[in-house]
Structure 1
Amino acid sequence: MAGARRHLAAGDRELGANPVELAVVMPLILVLLFASLQVAAVFLARSTALNAAQGGVNAQRLYDAPDDAGVVSATRFLNATGGWLVGWAKTGPSCVTTDTEVTCTVRGRSLSVVPGVDFAVRQTAHGTVERETTP
């Protein structure tokens, strides 16, 4: 019986170690969690900006499209997508059309999951303008 008590007493040295280990590891886990969420927010902002730019190119490249068709289409898309891309309204989408191609650019910032941490986002799409050609 005395041997069993000594064995139990020797095992008691580890008692309470789990909360201490958790207290040491938990900040690292939280940093990794918020970092992964911020990375996801950046990728969603980039995807949103690229889709808006592609929508602008698709609208602007049509035969006899109005001069602002691309900007209107990209703005409509950005208004409908929510807040993954913020600050885009300051500069607004821009589309430049030449005789043969159209280029639309969307700028903004990613949504900030971690306070004070956001990233600039700029996406550009190109396309060929539809036009009449002679053989």
Structure 2
Amino acid sequence: MAEDGLITAQSRFGVTETIDRLAEAIERSGLHVFTRIDHAAGARDVGASLRPTELLIFGNPRGGTPLMQDRQLAGIDLPLKALAWEDEDGKIWLSYNDPHWIAERHGLGETSRATVAAMAAGMKKMIAAAAGMDQS
């Protein structure tokens, strides 16, 4: 687990295609995409520039609700989210909060352990599919 709780993977695709692929993987997994935010478009709206940066917010109340029942403040980090972004060298990255970090941050108990493990495994699989990473 990264000290700051972020996991970042390089994507083989552009920001928009990476988020499109992630949304497809999320829906195939039975989760719901709540919203998509294009931060670069927001920057343009106020006359500023920002390299391509898009956020996807997604989840399922079946997974998140038990965590919030354990520690309601976990809702500040739920639903899950992932950020696709282009760095100054033109490389594309896909970053997300490690569910284990979320659990540690909020002091989630033993009853949440299986849900957190399932979230972490699901995120790893969906991120790999979206980024075009080898899953072997």
TM-score w.r.t. length of structure 2: 0.31
Query: Whose relative contact order is higher, 1 or 2, with alpha carbons under 8 Å and at least 6 apart?
Result: 2
Q: Which structure would you say has the larger Rg?
A: 1
More strand by share: 2
Higher relative helix content: 1
